[in-house]
Amino acid sequence: MGKLAEEHEIPNHILAIRKKSKIKNTYLDKILPQLDRDKRLRTGFNIHSTTSGRLSSSGKMNMQQIPRDNPIVKGCIRAKPGNKIVAMDLTTAEVYVAAVLAKDDALMNVFKEGGNFHSSIAKIVFGLPGTVDEVTEHYKTERQAAKAVTFGIMYGAGAKKISEQVTKDSGKYFSTTQAQEVIDDYFKQFHKLRTWIDHSSKFIRDNGFIYSHFGRKRRLPNVRSDNQGVASHEVRSGLNFLVQSVASDINLLGAVDAHAKIKECGQENNMKIFALVHDSILAEVKEDHVEEYSSIVKVAVQTDRGLSIPKCPVGCDFDIGEDYSFGKYEKKYPSILSEYEKKHGL
């Protein structure tokens, strides 16, 4: 259906209706009946129930599955008057973790130098002229290719997948031959990352399990499958676990430490962490305490837990707004928001 939508508007409309129906049935129809007496919706978080090592969410609403490409559900998660929703997101955390685990100085230097990460990678891999900002502006296809390879490596993507992703993101055809050349050039620049991937893959194949930096164990028995596709997928899952679980644990440990600091300062009524979603920490914060809260969270998340680039802690990005969509809901559904504000006297 997705390919048909590229050729005619009717399949595109069908896909849009499906998407909206799913959001309505999965989230909106279930939210109102499940609100607690204080008009809030609470969920549970589980630390041991995913193979990836990430937190999972269960109960009245699964926070980990809130749609990213439509702000209507996020827009329903609003701060009380006088408060703000504050979201802290780790910046390219999984690549940061991989760079440290691999002890790849070249990749760690990209983080140290700062600036636009994917443009910096593209400049190195393709040997592009000009500044990093000029790469961002003038070499969009190369930047998309570098970005696709960077994230693709974390998920074991091959040339075919990279080709499809770059073609989709850039709007220009990017062949599998080109993709393979980029992958090869990428590992010439970041060869220690290649060595780490190969070593970790061999350990998984030889042992059928792997341990994360923080001691989580991922059992991977299907590496012994006679089906090569199944066995290869199991190795990729193990590699993904090594970086994804660590990034999640950095976020989780940061949230735990931040909550302890908030409690120590007697600020529980002014700052409340209410959810962890992937690599984000979400909180409701009194407007005049946002700066103080942001500082507490940043210090907690950037604490060195034995997996940091010297003098370059993992990056933290902050979004602050009236609701969890941070203005996207208001932009897409202004009339609905206006009716809500009238009804509630806002």
For the segment 162-174, what is each residue's pLDDT rounded down to a tens digit? Answer: 888 888 877 788 8
Residue after which a domain boundary falls, among 200, 226, 245: 245
Same domain, residue pair 135 and 222: yes
Same domain, residue pair 24 and 131: no
Same domain, residue pair 85 and 100: no
Torsional class of 218: left (φ above 0), alpha (ψ -120 to 50), beta (otherwise): beta
Same domain, residue pair 276 and 323: yes
For residue 307, pLDDT over 80 is answered with: yes
Write the DSSP assignment of 223-286 as a string of letters. GG-SSHHHHHHHHHHHHHHHHHHHHHHHHHHHHHHHHHHHHHTT-TTTEEEEEEETTEEEEEEE
Same domain, residue pair 219 and 336: no
Q: What pLDDT score was predicted for residue 201?
A: 93
Average pLDDT for 6-18 = 76
Same domain, residue pair 221 and 152: yes
Residue after which a domain boundary falls, among 245, 273, 300: 245
> Whose CA is closest to 74, among 343, 335, 338, 321?
321
CB 239 within 8 A of CB 154: yes
Host domain of residue 291: 33-92+249-344
For residue 223, pLDDT over 80 is answered with: yes
For residue 53, pLDDT over 80 is answered with: no
The CATH number given to whatever domain includes residue 111 is: 1.10.150.20
Same domain, residue pair 88 and 157: no
Using pLDDT thresholds of 50, 70 and 90, give the confidence band for residue 292: very high
> Running DSSP on this structure, what letter comes out for residue 90?
E
Q: What pLDDT score was predicted for residue 338?
A: 56
For residue 3, pLDDT over 70 is answered with: no
Residue 44: φ, ψ to 5°: -110, 155
Of these ranges, 51-60, 80-89, 185-194, the one predicted with the greatest mean pLDDT is 80-89
Same domain, residue pair 83 and 4: no
For the segment 64-77, what is each residue's pLDDT rounded down to a tens digit? Answer: 888 777 788 888 88
Between 153 and 340, the more confident residue is 153
Same domain, residue pair 188 and 105: yes
Residue 108: φ, ψ to 5°: -65, -35
Q: What pLDDT score was predicted for residue 14?
A: 82
CB 75 within 8 A of CB 330: yes
For residue 4, pLDDT over 70 is answered with: no
Pairing of strands 280-286, 83-91: antiparallel
- The length of the chain is 346
Same domain, residue pair 241 and 115: yes
Record the tokens describing residue 62, joined without a space.
Answer: 């699964």
CA distances in angstroms from 83 to 42, 288, 293, 295, 324, listed in the order given? 18, 8, 12, 17, 12
For the segment 311-325, what is each residue's pLDDT rounded down to a tens digit? Answer: 999 999 999 999 999
Q: What pLDDT score was predicted for residue 335?
A: 62
Residue after which a domain boundary falls, among 217, 245, 273: 245
Q: What pLDDT score was predicted for residue 269?
A: 94
Using pLDDT thresholds of 50, 70 and 90, give the confidence band for residue 110: very high
Q: What pLDDT score was predicted for residue 346?
A: 53
Average pLDDT for 226-241 = 93
Q: Rounded to an integer, what distance in angstroms lies between the CA atom of residue 147 and that of residue 133?
A: 15
pTM for the predicted model, two decimal places: 0.85
Same domain, residue pair 146 and 69: no
The CATH number given to whatever domain includes residue 80 is: 3.30.70.370
Residues 6+ apart with CB under 8 A from 247: 90, 93, 94, 96, 97, 279
Q: What pLDDT score was predicted for residue 148?
A: 86
Same domain, residue pair 117 and 50: no
For the chain, what is the mean pLDDT? 87
CA distances in angstroms from 234 to 218, 229, 325, listed in the order given? 11, 9, 35
Q: What pLDDT score was predicted for residue 247?
A: 93
> Running DSSP on this structure, what letter comes out for residue 323?
B
CB 267 within 8 A of CB 286: no
Number of domains in the chain: 3
Residue 96: φ, ψ to 5°: -60, -50
Q: How far is CA 286 from the centre of its chain?
A: 26
Pairing of strands 315-321, 217-219: unpaired
Average pLDDT for 210-218 = 94
